């Protein structure tokens, strides 16, 4: 876990365990297109393989997400980061942190996805988290964000942000400033 709280991470609550087991079963039956859960014996940390959607800048590229679930999931958002090397994207920092303020976008081969941050420019992984969201919905939002990108580049403030995140600061501790929704 990249957070400084990695050593003090509390065990999952019964509600969190039940919810994650339910999501894991659903994932095994109906995984989101372009994603593969790498099975481990740790329910509290999922490693997910992400395959770029065909016809996009990220086609034929594979990345890994690390999803760390807090004690009170789903009432509290999981921490979601790319395991380096992370994709070159205007909303993904080189340390794997993701700023997922996503407008309504269309992913080739997938239906239109609307995220709750459209109106107020907050991040669905943090400020606008809802317990109704699932690992699958997070993954689809991330794939939508990647697929809608028109450029492969880091955020303008990448170096400053990464420098300020040394010592394992969690992206959940970040107050995100949005550069805009067009990429």
> Is residue 99 annotated as a catalytic residue, yes or no?
yes
Whole-number Å distance between alpha carbons of 68 and 3 = 10
| 105 beta partners | 113
Lookup: tokens for 12: 């999952």
Beta bridge pairs of residue 48: 37, 65
- The answer for residues whose C-beta is within 8 angstroms of residue 42's C-beta and 6 or more apart is none
**What's the rounded Cα separation, in Å, for the pair 181 and 183?**
6
**In the block, residue with structure tokens 């957070």:** 3
Q: Of residues 99, 102, 117, 165, which has the active-site annotation?
A: 99
**Cβ contact 148:105 at 8 Å:** yes
Q: Which two tokens stand for residue 111?
A: 């239906």
Catalytic residues: 99
């Amino acid at each position: 876990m990249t957070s400084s709280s990695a050593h003090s991470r509390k065990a999952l609550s019964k509600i969190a365990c039940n919810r994650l087991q339910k999501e894991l079963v659903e994932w095994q039956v109906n995984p989101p297109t372009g994603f593969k859960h790498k099975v481990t014996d740790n329910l509290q940390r999922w490693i997910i393989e992400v395959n770029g959607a065909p016809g996009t800048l990220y086609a034929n590229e594979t990345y890994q997400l690390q999803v760390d679930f807090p004690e009170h999931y789903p009432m509290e958002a999981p921490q979601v980061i790319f395991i380096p090397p992370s994709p070159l994207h205007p909303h993904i920092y080189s340390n794997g942190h993701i700023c997922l303020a996503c407008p309504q976008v269309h992913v080739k081969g997938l239906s239109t996805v609307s995220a709750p941050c459209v109106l107020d420019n907050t991040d669905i992984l943090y400020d606008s988290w809802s317990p109704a969201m699932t690992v699958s919905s997070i993954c689809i939002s991330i794939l939508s964000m990647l697929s809608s990108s028109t450029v492969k580049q880091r955020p303008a403030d990448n170096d400053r942000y990464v420098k300020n995140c040394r010592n394992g600061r969690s992206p959940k501790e970040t107050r995100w400033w949005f550069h805009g929704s067009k990429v």
